[in-house]
Structure 1
Amino acid sequence: MRPARAALLLASLALAPAAQARPVVVELFTSQACASCPPADALLATYAKNPGVLPLSFNVTYWNSPVWSDPDSLKAATARQAWYAGLANSQSVYTPQAIVDGTVQLVGSDATKLAAAIAAAQAAPAGDVPVSVKDGAMVRLVIGMGSGSGNILLLGFDARHITHIGGGENSGAVVTEVNVVRSITSLGPWSGQQMAMSMSRPAGQHMAVLLQANNGAILGAGTN
Protein backbone atom coordinates (compact mmCIF):
# COMPACT_ATOMS: atom_id res chain seq x y z
CA MET A 1 0.00 0.00 0.00
CA ARG A 2 1.34 3.43 -0.93
CA PRO A 3 2.30 5.70 2.02
CA ALA A 4 -0.17 8.43 1.02
CA ARG A 5 -3.02 5.93 0.74
CA ALA A 6 -2.09 4.36 4.08
CA ALA A 7 -2.07 7.77 5.76
CA LEU A 8 -5.51 8.54 4.32
CA LEU A 9 -6.87 5.25 5.65
CA LEU A 10 -5.46 5.87 9.13
CA ALA A 11 -6.93 9.40 9.15
CA SER A 12 -10.33 8.00 8.17
CA LEU A 13 -10.20 5.42 10.96
CA ALA A 14 -9.23 8.08 13.49
CA LEU A 15 -12.11 10.28 12.35
CA ALA A 16 -14.82 7.64 12.65
CA PRO A 17 -16.57 7.41 16.04
CA ALA A 18 -16.19 4.12 17.88
CA ALA A 19 -19.07 1.70 17.43
CA GLN A 20 -21.19 1.39 20.55
CA ALA A 21 -24.79 0.87 21.49
CA ARG A 22 -26.58 4.17 21.33
CA PRO A 23 -29.17 5.24 23.90
CA VAL A 24 -32.88 4.98 23.18
CA VAL A 25 -34.18 8.52 22.67
CA VAL A 26 -37.27 9.45 24.69
CA GLU A 27 -38.75 12.86 23.88
CA LEU A 28 -41.35 14.24 26.28
CA PHE A 29 -43.50 17.13 25.10
CA THR A 30 -44.59 18.87 28.27
CA SER A 31 -45.53 22.20 29.84
CA GLN A 32 -45.31 23.67 33.31
CA ALA A 33 -48.85 25.01 32.80
CA CYS A 34 -50.35 21.56 32.17
CA ALA A 35 -51.84 19.83 35.22
CA SER A 36 -51.29 16.38 33.70
CA CYS A 37 -47.60 16.93 33.03
CA PRO A 38 -45.85 16.72 36.44
CA PRO A 39 -46.36 12.91 36.68
CA ALA A 40 -44.84 12.54 33.21
CA ASP A 41 -41.94 14.83 34.17
CA ALA A 42 -41.32 12.65 37.23
CA LEU A 43 -41.46 9.47 35.14
CA LEU A 44 -38.96 10.84 32.63
CA ALA A 45 -36.64 11.75 35.51
CA THR A 46 -36.40 8.07 36.50
CA TYR A 47 -34.52 7.45 33.25
CA ALA A 48 -32.09 10.35 33.66
CA LYS A 49 -29.27 8.19 35.05
CA ASN A 50 -29.91 5.21 32.77
CA PRO A 51 -27.05 5.06 30.22
CA GLY A 52 -29.27 3.14 27.85
CA VAL A 53 -31.82 5.97 27.58
CA LEU A 54 -31.52 9.59 26.48
CA PRO A 55 -34.55 11.39 28.01
CA LEU A 56 -35.26 14.89 26.69
CA SER A 57 -37.87 17.42 27.86
CA PHE A 58 -39.37 19.57 25.12
CA ASN A 59 -41.47 22.35 26.68
CA VAL A 60 -44.12 23.57 24.24
CA THR A 61 -45.56 27.06 23.95
CA TYR A 62 -49.30 26.53 23.38
CA TRP A 63 -50.09 26.25 27.11
CA ASN A 64 -48.61 29.69 27.85
CA SER A 65 -51.05 32.30 29.15
CA PRO A 66 -51.04 35.49 31.23
CA VAL A 67 -51.46 33.43 34.43
CA TRP A 68 -48.37 31.31 33.72
CA SER A 69 -45.92 31.31 30.83
CA ASP A 70 -43.49 28.39 30.91
CA PRO A 71 -39.99 29.95 31.02
CA ASP A 72 -38.51 26.84 29.38
CA SER A 73 -40.95 26.75 26.46
CA LEU A 74 -39.54 26.86 22.94
CA LYS A 75 -41.27 27.58 19.64
CA ALA A 76 -38.94 24.99 18.12
CA ALA A 77 -40.30 22.37 20.55
CA THR A 78 -43.86 23.19 19.50
CA ALA A 79 -42.84 22.92 15.84
CA ARG A 80 -41.12 19.57 16.45
CA GLN A 81 -44.23 18.11 18.07
CA ALA A 82 -46.35 19.38 15.17
CA TRP A 83 -43.93 17.67 12.76
CA TYR A 84 -44.42 14.37 14.59
CA ALA A 85 -48.20 14.85 14.43
CA GLY A 86 -47.90 15.33 10.68
CA LEU A 87 -46.01 12.03 10.38
CA ALA A 88 -49.00 10.37 12.06
CA ASN A 89 -51.37 12.11 9.61
CA SER A 90 -52.84 14.17 12.44
CA GLN A 91 -53.13 17.83 13.30
CA SER A 92 -53.78 17.25 17.00
CA VAL A 93 -51.12 17.66 19.67
CA TYR A 94 -51.31 17.11 23.42
CA THR A 95 -49.31 17.07 26.61
CA PRO A 96 -47.81 15.07 28.08
CA GLN A 97 -46.76 13.15 24.97
CA ALA A 98 -43.75 10.83 24.79
CA ILE A 99 -42.12 9.73 21.55
CA VAL A 100 -39.66 6.83 21.68
CA ASP A 101 -36.92 6.66 19.06
CA GLY A 102 -38.95 8.94 16.82
CA THR A 103 -41.61 6.36 15.96
CA VAL A 104 -43.68 5.24 18.97
CA GLN A 105 -46.08 7.87 20.31
CA LEU A 106 -47.81 7.49 23.69
CA VAL A 107 -49.10 9.32 26.76
CA GLY A 108 -46.00 10.48 28.61
CA SER A 109 -47.24 9.48 32.06
CA ASP A 110 -48.01 5.85 31.08
CA ALA A 111 -45.14 4.05 32.84
CA THR A 112 -46.04 0.59 31.55
CA LYS A 113 -46.29 1.56 27.88
CA LEU A 114 -43.17 3.73 28.10
CA ALA A 115 -41.10 0.90 29.62
CA ALA A 116 -42.39 -1.50 26.96
CA ALA A 117 -41.55 0.90 24.13
CA ILE A 118 -38.03 1.42 25.46
CA ALA A 119 -37.51 -2.33 25.86
CA ALA A 120 -38.72 -2.93 22.30
CA ALA A 121 -36.36 -0.28 20.96
CA GLN A 122 -33.43 -1.81 22.85
CA ALA A 123 -34.27 -5.25 21.47
CA ALA A 124 -34.49 -4.02 17.87
CA PRO A 125 -31.81 -5.26 15.43
CA ALA A 126 -28.56 -3.30 15.46
CA GLY A 127 -27.61 -1.09 12.53
CA ASP A 128 -27.39 2.34 14.11
CA VAL A 129 -25.09 4.97 12.65
CA PRO A 130 -22.25 5.91 15.03
CA VAL A 131 -22.42 9.51 16.22
CA SER A 132 -20.05 11.43 18.48
CA VAL A 133 -20.02 15.00 19.77
CA LYS A 134 -17.13 16.59 21.66
CA ASP A 135 -17.09 19.89 23.52
CA GLY A 136 -14.25 22.40 23.30
CA ALA A 137 -13.53 25.84 21.90
CA MET A 138 -15.72 24.58 19.05
CA VAL A 139 -18.15 21.68 19.07
CA ARG A 140 -16.75 18.75 17.06
CA LEU A 141 -19.31 16.43 15.51
CA VAL A 142 -18.62 13.17 13.66
CA ILE A 143 -21.23 11.05 11.87
CA GLY A 144 -20.23 7.58 10.69
CA MET A 145 -21.21 5.69 7.55
CA GLY A 146 -24.50 3.86 7.27
CA SER A 147 -27.44 3.04 5.06
CA GLY A 148 -30.29 5.36 4.31
CA SER A 149 -30.45 9.12 4.76
CA GLY A 150 -31.58 11.62 7.33
CA ASN A 151 -31.15 14.99 8.97
CA ILE A 152 -28.73 16.04 11.69
CA LEU A 153 -30.01 17.91 14.75
CA LEU A 154 -27.89 19.50 17.47
CA LEU A 155 -29.68 19.97 20.79
CA GLY A 156 -28.52 21.97 23.78
CA PHE A 157 -30.05 20.99 27.11
CA ASP A 158 -29.82 21.63 30.86
CA ALA A 159 -29.55 18.64 33.19
CA ARG A 160 -32.22 19.74 35.66
CA HIS A 161 -34.63 22.61 36.23
CA ILE A 162 -36.61 23.04 39.45
CA THR A 163 -39.39 25.60 39.09
CA HIS A 164 -41.85 27.03 41.61
CA ILE A 165 -45.04 27.51 39.60
CA GLY A 166 -46.69 30.85 40.29
CA GLY A 167 -49.99 30.51 38.45
CA GLY A 168 -52.25 28.41 36.29
CA GLU A 169 -53.23 24.76 36.73
CA ASN A 170 -50.06 23.92 38.69
CA SER A 171 -50.03 27.06 40.82
CA GLY A 172 -48.06 26.52 44.03
CA ALA A 173 -46.41 23.30 42.82
CA VAL A 174 -42.68 22.71 42.54
CA VAL A 175 -41.91 21.00 39.22
CA THR A 176 -38.65 19.19 38.49
CA GLU A 177 -37.72 18.57 34.86
CA VAL A 178 -34.66 16.75 33.50
CA ASN A 179 -32.66 17.31 30.32
CA VAL A 180 -34.62 20.42 29.43
CA VAL A 181 -33.97 21.29 25.78
CA ARG A 182 -32.86 24.91 25.40
CA SER A 183 -31.98 24.97 21.70
CA ILE A 184 -32.62 22.94 18.55
CA THR A 185 -30.36 23.48 15.54
CA SER A 186 -30.70 21.76 12.18
CA LEU A 187 -27.26 20.97 10.74
CA GLY A 188 -28.48 19.74 7.39
CA PRO A 189 -28.82 16.40 5.60
CA TRP A 190 -26.85 13.17 5.89
CA SER A 191 -26.79 10.74 2.95
CA GLY A 192 -24.97 7.72 4.34
CA GLN A 193 -21.42 9.00 4.08
CA GLN A 194 -19.04 9.65 6.95
CA MET A 195 -18.82 13.34 7.75
CA ALA A 196 -17.41 15.71 10.34
CA MET A 197 -18.11 19.34 11.18
CA SER A 198 -17.31 22.00 13.74
CA MET A 199 -19.63 24.69 15.06
CA SER A 200 -20.23 27.12 17.89
CA ARG A 201 -21.64 25.75 21.13
CA PRO A 202 -25.46 25.87 21.40
CA ALA A 203 -27.41 27.18 24.39
CA GLY A 204 -27.57 24.64 27.21
CA GLN A 205 -25.23 22.91 29.66
CA HIS A 206 -24.95 19.74 27.59
CA MET A 207 -25.37 18.65 23.99
CA ALA A 208 -27.02 15.82 22.10
CA VAL A 209 -26.91 14.99 18.41
CA LEU A 210 -29.76 13.16 16.72
CA LEU A 211 -29.55 11.62 13.28
CA GLN A 212 -33.15 11.26 12.18
CA ALA A 213 -34.77 9.81 9.07
CA ASN A 214 -37.54 11.65 7.27
CA ASN A 215 -40.07 9.16 8.70
CA GLY A 216 -39.01 10.10 12.24
CA ALA A 217 -36.88 7.03 13.03
CA ILE A 218 -33.74 7.79 15.02
CA LEU A 219 -30.76 6.44 13.07
CA GLY A 220 -28.08 7.55 15.52
CA ALA A 221 -27.68 9.54 18.71
CA GLY A 222 -24.85 10.77 20.89
CA THR A 223 -24.20 13.12 23.81
CA ASN A 224 -21.12 14.90 25.08
Structure 2
Amino acid sequence: MLVRLVAVASFLIVAPVVASARPVVVELFTSEGCSSCPPADAFLSELSRDRPELLPLAFHVTYWNSLGWQDPYSLEAATQRQAEYSARFGDSPYTPEMVIDGQKGLVGSNRRAAEAAIAKAQKADEAEVAVSAVRHGRTISVTVGRGAGHAQVVLVGYDAGHVTNVARGENTGRTLRESNIVRSIQTVGEWTGAPLKLESATPAGEQAAILIQSTDGAIIGAARVASIGL
Protein backbone atom coordinates (compact mmCIF):
# COMPACT_ATOMS: atom_id res chain seq x y z
CA MET A 1 0.00 0.00 0.00
CA LEU A 2 1.26 3.47 -0.77
CA VAL A 3 1.76 5.67 2.26
CA ARG A 4 2.23 9.37 2.81
CA LEU A 5 4.69 10.52 5.45
CA VAL A 6 3.72 13.71 7.31
CA ALA A 7 6.17 15.31 9.78
CA VAL A 8 4.58 16.89 12.84
CA ALA A 9 7.09 18.35 15.35
CA SER A 10 9.51 15.50 15.99
CA PHE A 11 7.05 12.74 15.13
CA LEU A 12 6.28 10.88 11.91
CA ILE A 13 2.65 10.15 11.24
CA VAL A 14 2.01 7.51 8.62
CA ALA A 15 -1.31 8.06 6.82
CA PRO A 16 -2.52 5.59 4.22
CA VAL A 17 -3.58 6.98 0.88
CA VAL A 18 -7.08 5.85 0.07
CA ALA A 19 -7.22 4.00 -3.25
CA SER A 20 -9.20 5.82 -5.90
CA ALA A 21 -12.30 4.29 -7.42
CA ARG A 22 -11.78 2.24 -10.54
CA PRO A 23 -11.96 4.20 -13.80
CA VAL A 24 -15.26 4.59 -15.61
CA VAL A 25 -14.85 3.02 -19.04
CA VAL A 26 -15.78 5.27 -21.98
CA GLU A 27 -15.89 3.44 -25.32
CA LEU A 28 -16.17 5.40 -28.55
CA PHE A 29 -17.14 3.55 -31.74
CA THR A 30 -15.78 5.64 -34.56
CA SER A 31 -14.25 5.62 -38.04
CA GLU A 32 -11.88 7.82 -40.01
CA GLY A 33 -14.33 7.51 -42.92
CA CYS A 34 -17.15 9.19 -40.98
CA SER A 35 -17.45 12.98 -41.27
CA SER A 36 -19.51 13.16 -38.06
CA CYS A 37 -16.80 11.47 -36.02
CA PRO A 38 -14.00 14.07 -35.61
CA PRO A 39 -15.88 16.08 -32.92
CA ALA A 40 -16.40 12.88 -30.94
CA ASP A 41 -12.76 11.90 -31.48
CA ALA A 42 -11.69 15.31 -30.17
CA PHE A 43 -13.92 14.89 -27.11
CA LEU A 44 -12.40 11.47 -26.38
CA SER A 45 -8.92 12.97 -26.73
CA GLU A 46 -9.82 15.60 -24.14
CA LEU A 47 -11.07 12.92 -21.77
CA SER A 48 -7.89 10.92 -22.35
CA ARG A 49 -5.71 13.92 -21.59
CA ASP A 50 -7.62 15.58 -18.75
CA ARG A 51 -9.63 12.93 -16.92
CA PRO A 52 -7.46 10.28 -15.22
CA GLU A 53 -10.52 8.93 -13.43
CA LEU A 54 -11.81 7.68 -16.80
CA LEU A 55 -10.57 4.98 -19.16
CA PRO A 56 -11.41 6.27 -22.66
CA LEU A 57 -11.00 3.81 -25.54
CA ALA A 58 -11.57 4.43 -29.27
CA PHE A 59 -12.86 1.40 -31.18
CA HIS A 60 -12.55 1.92 -34.95
CA VAL A 61 -15.22 -0.08 -36.79
CA THR A 62 -14.94 -1.64 -40.24
CA TYR A 63 -18.28 -0.87 -41.90
CA TRP A 64 -17.10 2.50 -43.25
CA ASN A 65 -14.11 0.98 -45.05
CA SER A 66 -15.94 0.39 -48.34
CA LEU A 67 -17.11 3.99 -48.57
CA GLY A 68 -13.97 5.72 -49.78
CA TRP A 69 -11.38 5.45 -47.00
CA GLN A 70 -9.78 2.40 -45.42
CA ASP A 71 -9.39 3.21 -41.73
CA PRO A 72 -5.92 1.86 -40.81
CA TYR A 73 -7.03 1.22 -37.21
CA SER A 74 -10.32 -0.51 -37.95
CA LEU A 75 -10.89 -3.88 -36.30
CA GLU A 76 -13.52 -6.50 -37.00
CA ALA A 77 -13.50 -7.14 -33.24
CA ALA A 78 -14.58 -3.52 -32.72
CA THR A 79 -17.46 -3.94 -35.15
CA GLN A 80 -18.53 -7.12 -33.37
CA ARG A 81 -18.30 -5.48 -29.95
CA GLN A 82 -20.55 -2.64 -31.06
CA ALA A 83 -23.01 -5.12 -32.58
CA GLU A 84 -23.28 -6.84 -29.20
CA TYR A 85 -24.04 -3.54 -27.51
CA SER A 86 -26.60 -2.68 -30.20
CA ALA A 87 -28.40 -5.98 -29.60
CA ARG A 88 -28.58 -5.20 -25.87
CA PHE A 89 -29.67 -1.60 -26.38
CA GLY A 90 -32.19 -2.45 -29.10
CA ASP A 91 -30.77 -0.11 -31.75
CA SER A 92 -28.63 -0.27 -34.88
CA PRO A 93 -24.86 0.36 -34.96
CA TYR A 94 -23.87 3.92 -35.81
CA THR A 95 -20.90 6.26 -35.53
CA PRO A 96 -19.98 8.06 -33.47
CA GLU A 97 -21.47 6.06 -30.60
CA MET A 98 -20.20 6.32 -27.05
CA VAL A 99 -20.90 3.59 -24.49
CA ILE A 100 -20.42 4.32 -20.79
CA ASP A 101 -19.43 1.38 -18.57
CA GLY A 102 -21.11 -1.00 -21.00
CA GLN A 103 -24.56 0.19 -19.95
CA LYS A 104 -25.48 3.45 -21.68
CA GLY A 105 -25.18 4.25 -25.38
CA LEU A 106 -25.32 7.82 -26.73
CA VAL A 107 -24.10 10.02 -29.58
CA GLY A 108 -20.38 10.39 -29.05
CA SER A 109 -20.26 14.11 -29.76
CA ASN A 110 -23.05 14.89 -27.26
CA ARG A 111 -20.86 16.13 -24.44
CA ARG A 112 -23.70 16.99 -22.09
CA ALA A 113 -25.26 13.53 -22.35
CA ALA A 114 -21.85 11.88 -22.00
CA GLU A 115 -20.95 13.86 -18.89
CA ALA A 116 -24.33 13.03 -17.33
CA ALA A 117 -23.84 9.32 -18.04
CA ILE A 118 -20.30 9.43 -16.64
CA ALA A 119 -21.49 11.16 -13.47
CA LYS A 120 -24.21 8.55 -13.03
CA ALA A 121 -21.71 5.74 -13.47
CA GLN A 122 -19.39 7.30 -10.89
CA LYS A 123 -22.21 7.38 -8.34
CA ALA A 124 -23.49 3.88 -9.06
CA ASP A 125 -23.52 1.58 -6.03
CA GLU A 126 -23.70 -1.63 -8.02
CA ALA A 127 -21.40 -4.53 -7.14
CA GLU A 128 -17.85 -3.92 -8.26
CA VAL A 129 -14.87 -6.25 -8.36
CA ALA A 130 -11.29 -5.25 -7.68
CA VAL A 131 -8.83 -5.90 -10.51
CA SER A 132 -5.17 -5.13 -11.06
CA ALA A 133 -2.70 -6.01 -13.79
CA VAL A 134 1.05 -5.73 -14.22
CA ARG A 135 3.16 -6.16 -17.31
CA HIS A 136 6.46 -8.01 -16.94
CA GLY A 137 8.22 -7.91 -20.29
CA ARG A 138 5.95 -9.78 -22.69
CA THR A 139 3.61 -11.17 -20.04
CA ILE A 140 0.67 -9.54 -18.25
CA SER A 141 -0.32 -10.84 -14.81
CA VAL A 142 -3.94 -10.19 -13.84
CA THR A 143 -5.48 -10.43 -10.36
CA VAL A 144 -9.26 -10.27 -9.87
CA GLY A 145 -10.79 -10.11 -6.41
CA ARG A 146 -13.70 -11.91 -4.79
CA GLY A 147 -17.27 -10.91 -5.55
CA ALA A 148 -20.60 -12.09 -6.87
CA GLY A 149 -21.51 -12.74 -10.48
CA HIS A 150 -20.08 -14.10 -13.70
CA ALA A 151 -17.96 -12.04 -16.07
CA GLN A 152 -15.38 -12.14 -18.81
CA VAL A 153 -11.85 -10.87 -18.27
CA VAL A 154 -11.14 -8.75 -21.33
CA LEU A 155 -7.67 -7.55 -22.32
CA VAL A 156 -7.49 -4.43 -24.49
CA GLY A 157 -4.35 -3.13 -26.19
CA TYR A 158 -4.30 0.47 -27.40
CA ASP A 159 -2.04 3.21 -28.74
CA ALA A 160 -1.87 6.57 -26.97
CA GLY A 161 -2.35 8.57 -30.15
CA HIS A 162 -1.93 8.84 -33.90
CA VAL A 163 -2.19 11.52 -36.55
CA THR A 164 -3.68 10.57 -39.94
CA ASN A 165 -3.87 12.60 -43.14
CA VAL A 166 -7.04 11.39 -44.84
CA ALA A 167 -6.82 11.31 -48.64
CA ARG A 168 -10.26 10.01 -49.61
CA GLY A 169 -13.80 9.61 -48.37
CA GLU A 170 -15.93 11.96 -46.27
CA ASN A 171 -12.91 13.38 -44.43
CA THR A 172 -10.79 14.06 -47.52
CA GLY A 173 -8.08 16.61 -46.78
CA ARG A 174 -8.51 16.49 -43.01
CA THR A 175 -5.76 15.76 -40.53
CA LEU A 176 -7.21 13.58 -37.77
CA ARG A 177 -5.63 13.47 -34.32
CA GLU A 178 -6.98 10.55 -32.36
CA SER A 179 -6.28 9.12 -28.90
CA ASN A 180 -6.39 5.77 -27.10
CA ILE A 181 -6.92 3.83 -30.32
CA VAL A 182 -7.72 0.18 -29.64
CA ARG A 183 -5.42 -2.18 -31.56
CA SER A 184 -6.60 -5.48 -30.06
CA ILE A 185 -9.28 -6.89 -27.78
CA GLN A 186 -9.58 -10.43 -26.50
CA THR A 187 -11.19 -12.42 -23.71
CA VAL A 188 -8.43 -13.98 -21.62
CA GLY A 189 -10.43 -15.63 -18.84
CA GLU A 190 -13.70 -16.04 -16.96
CA TRP A 191 -14.44 -14.84 -13.46
CA THR A 192 -17.15 -16.59 -11.44
CA GLY A 193 -16.90 -14.79 -8.12
CA ALA A 194 -13.83 -16.48 -6.65
CA PRO A 195 -10.45 -14.72 -6.60
CA LEU A 196 -8.70 -15.26 -9.90
CA LYS A 197 -5.13 -14.97 -11.10
CA LEU A 198 -4.10 -15.45 -14.72
CA GLU A 199 -1.42 -14.55 -17.19
CA SER A 200 -1.60 -13.51 -20.82
CA ALA A 201 0.78 -12.46 -23.54
CA THR A 202 0.96 -8.72 -24.07
CA PRO A 203 -1.50 -7.59 -26.76
CA ALA A 204 -0.90 -5.43 -29.80
CA GLY A 205 -0.75 -1.80 -28.75
CA GLU A 206 1.52 0.49 -26.76
CA GLN A 207 -0.58 0.29 -23.60
CA ALA A 208 -3.11 -2.14 -22.16
CA ALA A 209 -6.11 -2.32 -19.87
CA ILE A 210 -8.23 -5.02 -18.25
CA LEU A 211 -12.03 -4.92 -18.26
CA ILE A 212 -14.25 -7.16 -16.16
CA GLN A 213 -17.49 -7.36 -18.14
CA SER A 214 -20.51 -9.17 -16.77
CA THR A 215 -22.81 -11.33 -18.86
CA ASP A 216 -25.31 -8.47 -19.19
CA GLY A 217 -22.62 -6.21 -20.71
CA ALA A 218 -22.03 -4.05 -17.64
CA ILE A 219 -18.41 -3.34 -16.82
CA ILE A 220 -17.93 -4.09 -13.13
CA GLY A 221 -14.17 -3.72 -12.94
CA ALA A 222 -11.40 -2.02 -14.89
CA ALA A 223 -7.73 -1.19 -14.54
CA ARG A 224 -4.88 0.11 -16.64
CA VAL A 225 -2.00 -2.32 -16.92
CA ALA A 226 1.05 -1.09 -15.02
CA SER A 227 4.48 -1.78 -16.50
CA ILE A 228 7.51 -2.85 -14.49
CA GLY A 229 10.93 -4.11 -15.41
CA LEU A 230 10.90 -2.50 -18.87
User: What letter matches 2:29 in structure 1?
Assistant: F
CA distance in 1, matches of 2:23, 2:96: 21
Unaligned 5+ residue runs, structure 1? 1-17
**1:98-137 deviations in whole A, cap 9, x for unaligned?**
0000001000000100011101111112642111111112
**CA offset at residue 66 of structure 1?**
6.5
Question: Which structure 2 residue ranges, 5 or more long, are not aligned?
Answer: 1-17, 226-230
> Who is 1:104 aligned against?
104
Does the aligned pair in 2 maintain the 1:20–1:130 contact within 8 Å? no
- The runs of at least 4 aligned residues of structure 1 exceeding 4 Å deviation read none
Determine the structure 1 residue equivalent to 2:82: 81
1 CA distance for matches of 2:68 and 2:97?
A: 23
Contact 1:37 1:96 (8 Å CA) reproduced: yes
Q: Give the distance between the partners of 1:24 and 1:47, measured in 2 at CA.
A: 11
> C-alpha displacement at 1:51, in angstroms?
1.4
CA distance in 1, matches of 2:171, 2:194: 47
User: Partner of 1:204: helix, strand, or coil?
Assistant: coil
1:167 matched to 2:194? The reply is no
Q: Normalising by structure 2, what TM-score?
A: 0.86
Q: When the two structures are aligned, how many residues end up with a matched partner?
A: 206
Task: Note the alpha carbon deviations across 1:61-118, whole angstroms, 9 max, x for none.
Answer: 000026310000000000000000111234x110000000000100000010001110
Find the residue that maps to 2:197 and give its secondary structure: strand
**Are positions 1:63 and 2:64 aligned together?**
yes
Instruction: Report if the CA contact (8 A) 1:151-1:186 is conserved.
Output: yes
- C-alpha separation in 1, matches of 2:201 and 2:152: 19
Structure that is richer in helix per residue: 1
- Distance of aligned partners of 1:89 and 1:67 in 2 relative to their CA distance in 1, 3 Å threshold: closer
Partners of 1:89 and 1:174 in 2: CA distance: 34
RMSD of equivalent CA atoms = 1.4
Distance 1:98 1:66, change over 3 A: closer
